[in-house]
Amino acid sequence: MFRSILPRAAPKSVLQSVRGAQTSFRASNIYFQDRLRRGYASEAEEKDLVIIGGGVAGYVAAIKAGQAGLKVACIEKRGTLGGTCLNVGCIPSKSLLNNSHLYHTILHDTKHRGIDVGDVKLNLATLMKAKETSVSGLTKGIEFLFKKNGVEYIKGTGAFVDEHTVAVNLIEGGETSVKAKNIFIATGSEATPFPGLTIDEKKVITSTGAIALQQVPKKMVVIGGGIIGLEMGSVWSRLGAEVTVVEYLGQIGGPGMDAEISKMIQKMLTKQGMKFKLNTKVMSGDDSGETVKISTEAAKGGKEETLDADVVLVAIGRRPYTSGLGLENIGLETDDKGRLVIDQEYRTKIPHIRVIGDVTFGPMLAHKAEEEGVAAVEFLTKGYGHVNYGAIPSVMYTHPEVAWVGQNEQELKAAGVKYKAGSFPFSANSRAKTNLDTEGIVKFLSDAETDRILGVHIVGPNAGEMIAEATLALEYGASSEDVARTSHAHPTLSEAFKEAAMATYDKAIHY
């Protein structure tokens, strides 16, 4: 091309210059072609499965699919795997809950144990660093599992171009696209905002800001008395904040928590210093000043009150996240709660596009999302899968912990189910007594005729671990007698579990 525009008798110096330009052009062209090929590497080969979202649902599905021999790519815009749970949710909050509990214990609960301590100080920066260390180690661990199982990890924001193609804006710049025979949507959820309050994650915060405060607030108001609000409120209460929880319902813990258990944990948290305003509606908020003012009134109308706080935690729930996903390009719509509609095999109306995790139906729990990730891949590869939504445990990691699985008393009464209830207090358990940690009970609910376990509710030490036995019993249709006749090691907290089962079908021994 260059030679055709040169005069016949062009000087040698010009020819050399042009040849140099040709060489430079070819080298540059090869460079950019190479960059293009690398940038669009995933487009060269159609994947068996592409997963949009690298949270718990997405990364578990990706690993499971890789183990099954599928060619898999997982798209994640955060830059680190694990989603909300691992990065700014379950994992970092548990680090803060554990370490704040240790701090609180040293301050208030060591003298009578025979442990004298000196001047105890909080180093919040180090507390936060410990949290970050646990998070980074786990996220890198998932990347290792991706490599181990042949999963391609694409860092960027994915959006549908058509039913088989996802365009990706790469975090490091540029774009790519990936085609797949099957696509899973696993984009998770986000904190539900409160009308009239601007989330800045400093004065008005969600759970994301609650795990990253730079100093302990003097006063904190928590809007919402569910699990997230109570856990994070508990952390900052232990560290010295005056925490007030405002809840619209007449109980804390959310509607899934058994009413008797809810009353117990509320008394325990009140004893620890937290304040509660139940049956109370937040009318408005003003964050224009140095502090935030929250206007409340009785849920049924009447008494009004204004609360003043350095920090307000908005914890009124979470909503499915589908923003920027390009659903309109493939004709998928959400329901009135923002959820993507699926059938029993997680398929949308486009059969090769499935949805798992928080962005669709069911409780917004990490372990539920994991189960769906595995089941969806099994439906894809085997034609069958399994998640028992009647046996998904819930845990609140306050101290003491609260855990439950199955139905609660108010649900059984509303359904007209005849049932038996039995319970056993940790105050009568030998291990709890030796640990000087005796608050709480284990409570069983079983069918009045068959004795089949319908629900188990625990408030007390180690409840989050103990609930696994209840979930297994529920999954396999065990009766309270089955559990009661199973030997439990002595002395352990799990003996309270056995004795509660005994109290349900007959009588407990040690109470």
Is 358 flagged in the annotation as binding? yes
Tell whether residue 225 is among the known ligand binding residues: yes
Q: Catalytic site residue 490?
A: yes
Q: Is 366 annotated as a binding residue?
A: yes
**Residue 499 annotated as part of some ligand binding site:** no
Does 232 count as an annotated binding residue?
no
Sort strands 318-320 and 353-355 into parallel, antiparallel or unpaired. unpaired
Q: Is the dihedral of CA 118, 123, 124, 127 positive or negative?
A: negative
Among 207, 182, 141, residue whose Cα is nearest residue 380: 182
H or E element, residue 159? strand 151-162
Q: Is 247 annotated as a binding residue?
A: yes
Nearby residues of 231 by Cβ (< 8 Å), 6 or more positions away: 93, 97, 396, 397, 398
* 365 known member of a binding site: yes
189 labeled part of a ligand binding site = yes
3-class SS at 272? coil
Q: Exposed/middle/buried for 116, CB within 10 Å: 0-12, 13-18, 19+? A: exposed
- 227 annotated to a ligand binding site: yes
DSSP class of 334:
B
Q: How far is CA 147 from CA 67, 137, 172, in A?
A: 11, 16, 20
Q: Which tokens hold the place of 394?
A: 């819930």
The one catalytic residue among 108, 386, 490, 510 = 490
State the Cα angle at 482 between 480 and 485, rounded to 5°: 105
* 114 labelled binding-site residue: no
Is 352 annotated among the ligand-binding residues?
A: no
364 is in an annotated binding site: yes
20 in a labelled binding site: no
- Cα 432 vs. chain centroid, distance in angstroms? 30
User: Annotated binding residue at 64?
Assistant: no
Q: Would you list which residues are annotated within the binding site for FAD? A: 94, 158, 187-189, 358, 364-367
Q: Would you list which residues are annotated within the binding site? A: 94, 158, 187-189, 224-231, 247, 317, 358, 364-367
Q: Which residues are tagged catalytic?
A: 490
Q: Would you list which residues are annotated within the binding site for NAD(+)? A: 224-231, 247, 317
